[in-house]
Structure 1
C-alpha cells in the first residue's frame, strides 16, 4: 500500500535554509494533508482503539443448529488473557500480511467467516491465485467459496485436498466458531513460520451445545481445547549474517559500527533539528524511522499519519510498521525483523534495519 508522499519543492524553505525550525517543518506537513492520508490515519487509529478496547467475543446464533448438530461455544467474557493475547497476535499478523490490500481485520469471527479475507491471506502466503466459479454473496455462495479456500489450506498443510479437517470445517468457520478459526490460523503460522511469536501453552474452554428434539442442550462441564504447545517454535529461521558474527565474535568492533550508523542517521535528521545519540533508545518508538524515511526519499510524511509522541506499545508498533511500509515503497525488501523487535529495543534488529538504509541511500546527500 503506497503511503501518502508530498514531494519537497526545490524552493521550499527547508531546502533554502538548513537550520529551519521543527515548527516550520510541522507547518509544511499540515499544509500537505490530503484525503488518502486522512483515510489511512482513521484506519490506523480505529485499529489501535480496537486492540486497546479488548477482543470482542461473538457468540453464534445456536438456534441455527440442525437437529443432532453439536457446537463447542466460547461464551462472552470467558476468554482467558492468554487466548486474548493469541487473538491479538494473529490479528496483527493478518493485518501485516494484507496491508497491500487495504484490509484491516478487527475481529476474527466477524471478518473471516465468509472466506473473503481467508482467500486473500492464503493467496498472499502461498503466492498463488485461487480461481472461483462465479458465485453470489448469499450464504450458499459464501460457503462455496469458503470450501475452496479450506481445501487449499488442507493441501498446503499436507492434508488431502478434499479431506475436511474436523478442526476447521466449512460449517464451523462460517458459523464463526472461534476455536476452529484459531486452530486454522495457528496451523498456517506453524507452516509458514512468519516472524511472529505465538504465546505458549494456550488453552481455550467452551461448552458443548447440541440440538435435541428441537431444543438446545448445554453440557455442564466445559471442554478444553489446546491451541498452542508449551514450547512453540514458530518464529522464522533466518540465515546468520554479519551482525550475528559481529555480536558473537567481534564485540570490540560493535561501538565502531554503532557510531557509523548514528553518523549516517544524523547526516539527515539534523536537517530537522532532531539528532540521535543512541541506537538502543532513539529508534524504539518509530518516530525517527518514519521521519528518516521521508528525508531519504525526498518527501514529507504528514504528521497525522503517525504518532508523533507515542505513549503506548501499540502506537510505537504502528509507527515502526509504517516505517517498514515506506521502506518497501522505496524499493527495499521488507525487513526480516518484526516491528515489535524494534519497539523492544533489540539492538541487533535496529542495526540491521539501519544498515539496509545505508546500503540503499548512501548516495543521498
Structure 2
C-alpha cells in the first residue's frame, strides 16, 4: 500500500536554504549543541581513520564509540583478532575452571572473567579462600563508588600477598579492573595462580596484541603493544629444575613417606628440647615459628622473641617469620633457599621438604 502523499510545503525552497545554512553554522561552531555533536562525530571519525588507516597492516576494526576520550586520556583493549587466539582462550578457560573449583563451596560460578570480576566480589572470596584470611569489606556493593572502594581494599591486600609494594609497577589497578580491562584481570589472576601454586597448567607463552588509543590536542593516535600474559613454567607455574623430590612425588610415593618420617625424627630431636613436637610436616612449618626455633636449636642460640611473631595472625606475619628463618640459614652458611617464603606459607609441601632436607644434610649429626 502506498503511503498518502504529504502536502508540499509552500516554503520548500526556503527549507533547502535553511539546511545549507544549518550545515554552515554547524561547521563553524556557533550553535553550541550542534557543535558538540559535530565534535563527537569528528572525534569518532578520527579514531576510526586512525585505526583503519591503510598504513597499518594490523589495523583492527574497533567501534569508534570506544574512543570518545577526554584530552590526554588513554584507553586500551585487546585487539579483536587476538581474542580468537587458541592459547588465550585456553588460558581463560583454565583460570575460570580454577576459580570455580576454589569457590564451589560459596556456590559462585564465574562464566566471564571480565564481566564477573570487575566489582571485587569474586576476587574477595578467592583471596579469602587462598589465604584463609577474612577481608573487612562489605559483602554486597551496589553503587559504582562503593564497588571501587571495595575493589581498592581487595587489590591492596592482593598486592601485599603478592609482595608488591606501593611503588611496584603492578599490571592492574582499581580503574583497569573496574572498567573490565581483560589484560589487567588476566595478569592479576595469573599472578595469584602462580603465587598460590594453583593445581593447574597455565598455557605457555600467551601473548596478545593490545590497542592503546590516546587523545592529545584533540587528535586520536593509537599504537599496538604485544602483551605477554604467560611465559614458560612447570606444572605449577614456577620456573625450576626438577630434583629428587619431584621424582619422589611422581614415581615413589612410598619412599616419600620414609623421607618424611626421617625428617620428622630429625626436627623433633631438637624441638623436643623445648617441649615442642612436629607430627605433620605438611602444615606445621607454614607459619615459620617452628622453622625459626629449629634454626636457633641447631645453631645453639636463643632467638630473640621480638625478631619474629610467636603467634602470627595473618599472611604477612607468617611470611615475615619464614623470611627471617631463611636469613638465619644464610647466616649459618647455607645457600639461599630456592623456595620463596610465600611457598612455605602457602603449604607447598615440596618447598617445605627441600628446606628441611637441606637442614638435615648439614645438621644430621648435631645432638
TM-score range, shorter chain: 0.3 to 0.5
| Structure showing greater relative contact order (alpha-carbon pairs closer than 8 Å, 6 or more residues apart) | 1
Q: How does the TM-score come out when normalised to structure 2? A: 0.46
Q: How does the TM-score come out when normalised to structure 1? A: 0.46
Larger radius of gyration: 2
